[in-house]
Amino acid sequence: MKCIILAGGKGTRLRKRGDSKPLIPLMGVPLIERVILTAKKSGLDDFYVITGHNGNQVRTHLEYFREKRGINITVIQNEEWEKENGLSILTAKKYISENFILLRCDLIFDASILRKLTNEKIAEGEVILAVDHNVGTNHRVDLGDVTKGLVSKTNKILDIGKNLEQYNAYDTGIFLCSPTIFRALEESVRKGDCSLSGGINVMAKNGIARTIDINGAYWVDVDDEKKWKTAEKTLCATMRKDSDGPIFRFVNRPISTRITRYFFLRTNIRPNHISIFAFLLATLGACFFLLGDYTNLVFGAFFAQASSIFDLIDGEIARIKLQETTYGAWFDAVLARYSDAFLLFGLTIYVSVHLTQINVLFILFTGFFALIGTFMISYTAMKFDDDNKLRGQGIPMNRDVRLFIIFLAGVINLPFLALLLIAFGTNVENIRRIVVLRNHTSS
C-alpha cells in the first residue's frame, strides 16, 4: 500500500534541535526515518514524502536512506509549503490512484495502529481516521494544539478542528484515504480553507468520513520541546517486554534502559555489536571461573550478571531504533546458548577443583544436568511463549534467573549451590512443560 508523509514544515518550535524538522534525530533516528520504518514495519512499502522547507537537504537525506534500506521513496517538493497542509497533500494527486495511508513526519505511534487501519475495509470514496477516544486520560496531548473530533455513535465524523468546544475524540493524524480526498481538498481550498481538516469536513458532510479507535495505543505529535520529552519517555517505555522474567523486570531492566538511553542511542552501535559484547562478557566470566580462588569467582559472577544486563540492551536498541531483524534475534539466541555453556562449564570446573569434599563425579553430573536443562528450557520456552495461556506458568528458570543465581552464588561463595539449583530447577520445569503441553494440546 502507498503512503503519503507530510514533511514540509519549518518546525520553528524545535529549531534549537535542527533546521530541518524531518531530519532531527529522536533517540538516534531522524523523525522522517522513524515514521517510514514504523510504517514499513506495519506492512507499507511505497512512500511519497512531501517536502517544503529545506527541501533539497531532506531530499538528499532520503535518497541516501532509500539506497541504504532498499525502500521505495518518492520525494515531492511543495513550493507552497508555507501555506496549510492540504496543499501539500494535493501535490501527490498525480502519483496516487488507489487507497493510501496519510501520515506526518513529526508523529510517533504504535505500529499496531497502522496494522489495524490497513486491515479495515474501506468503502469507495471513503476516508477513515484513527482516533483516540481517551480524551480525559491521555496526558500526552496538548489541548491547545491537538486537532479534536466530534464522532457519532456510528463512528462517523461530524466535525473536526483544533477549536472545537464539543468533542469526544482526538485526531491522531493517521488516515486511510481513498483518492476522493483530493477532490474534497480541492473543494475546501475553493472555499478558502487549505487545511486537511477542511477537506475532512467536506467528506464528513457527505457522510463518507468515519473513524476507528486506537484502543489505547500510544501516539505523540512531536511539535515542541514538551512533546519531544513526552516522545522520549513514551519510546523508553517500549524498551520493556511483556515476556521479561522477574530479574529482567526488577533488577536488570532499570539498569539497562539507562545505559541504552544515555550511552548507545546516539551512537552508530548496532544491536548485533551489543550481542557480541554480551557474549564476550560471559566468556570472560567463564575464564575467571577457570582461574580459580574466591576473588576470581566473584569477578566471574559479576561478569555473568553484566552479560545478563547487556543481553537486554541489544533488544532495546533494536526496538528504539527500529533495527529489529529475524537474523538479529536468532544471532542473539545462538550467542546466549554459547554463553550459558561457557559459564556452566567454567563453574563446574571451579567447583570440581575447589570443593574436594564433594565427589567429583557427582559434580560433573550436576554440571551436565545444569547444562542440558538450560539448553532444553530454552527450547521448550519457544512453544510456551507462543501460547499466552501457558506463558508465565511454572518455575521461573529463564535466563535472567539462571545468571542471577550464578551471580549470587559466586558472591556468597556457594558455587555448587548454583549448579544444583539450575540443574534441579530447569529439568523439573522441562518435565512439567512436557506434561502440561501434552494435556493442553490433547484437550
pLDDT one-digit tens code per residue, 33-70: 999 999 999 999 999 999 999 999 999 999 999 999 99
pLDDT reading at 310 higher than 80: yes
% of the chain residues with pLDDT over 70: 97
pLDDT digits (tens, 9 = 90+) for 420-440: 999 999 999 999 988 888 887
225, 309: one domain: no
180, 266: one domain: no
Mean pLDDT on 11-36: 94
DSSP state of 176: E
Report CA Rg, the chain.
Answer: 27
User: Per the structure block, which three cell numbers stand in for 109?
Assistant: 505511534
pLDDT reading at 328 higher than 70: yes
pLDDT reading at 388 higher than 70: no
Query: What backbone torsions phi and psi does residue 124 show, to the nearest 5 degrees?
Result: -60, 130
State CA 50 to chain mean position distance: 26
pLDDT digits (tens, 9 = 90+) for 5-15: 999 988 899 99
In contact, 130 and 42? CB cutoff 8 Å: no
217, 277: one domain: no
Q: What is the pLDDT of residue 133?
A: 96
pLDDT digits (tens, 9 = 90+) for 273-283: 999 999 999 99
229, 244: one domain: no
DSSP state of 389: T
Q: What is the pLDDT of residue 30?
A: 96
193, 289: one domain: no
160, 16: one domain: yes
At residue 442 the predicted structure's pLDDT band, cuts being 50, 70 and 90, is low
228, 264: one domain: no
pLDDT reading at 385 higher than 80: no
Q: Distance (Å, rounded) from C-alpha 349 to C-alpha 327?
A: 33
Q: Distance (Å, rounded) from C-alpha 407 to C-alpha 307?
A: 11
Which of 234, 257, 278 is the C-terminal boundary of a domain? 234
Which of 211, 234, 257 is the C-terminal boundary of a domain? 234
pLDDT reading at 32 higher than 90: yes
Can you state the angle between helices 271-291 and 326-354, rounded to 10 degrees? 10
User: Per the structure block, which three cell numbers stand in for 178?
Assistant: 481513498
- Closest among 40, 39, 60, 62 to 49, alpha carbons compared: 62
pTM above 0.75, yes or no: yes
Q: Distance (Å, rounded) from C-alpha 301 to C-alpha 414?
A: 11
Q: Distance (Å, rounded) from C-alpha 345 to C-alpha 188?
A: 72
pLDDT digits (tens, 9 = 90+) for 172-215: 999 999 999 999 999 999 999 999 999 999 999 999 999 999 99
224, 284: one domain: no
Q: What is the pLDDT of residue 438?
A: 81
127, 109: one domain: yes
Domain count, the chain: 2
Which of 214, 234, 254 is the C-terminal boundary of a domain? 234
187, 256: one domain: no
294, 374: one domain: yes
Q: Which CATH number fits the domain that encloses residue 430?
A: 1.20.120.1760
Q: Which CATH number fits the domain that encloses residue 95?
A: 3.90.550.10
pLDDT digits (tens, 9 = 90+) for 213-235: 999 999 999 999 999 999 999 99
User: What is the span of the domain harbouring residue 331?
Assistant: 239-442
Q: Distance (Å, rounded) from C-alpha 46 to C-alpha 104?
A: 15
Instruction: State whether residue 195 is helix, strand or coil.
Output: coil
The mean of the pLDDT values for the chain is 94
Q: Distance (Å, rounded) from C-alpha 119 to C-alpha 327?
A: 27
At residue 394 the predicted structure's pLDDT band, cuts being 50, 70 and 90, is confident
Q: What is the pLDDT of residue 390?
A: 58
328, 183: one domain: no
Cβ of 420: how many Cβ atoms within 10 Å?
A: 18
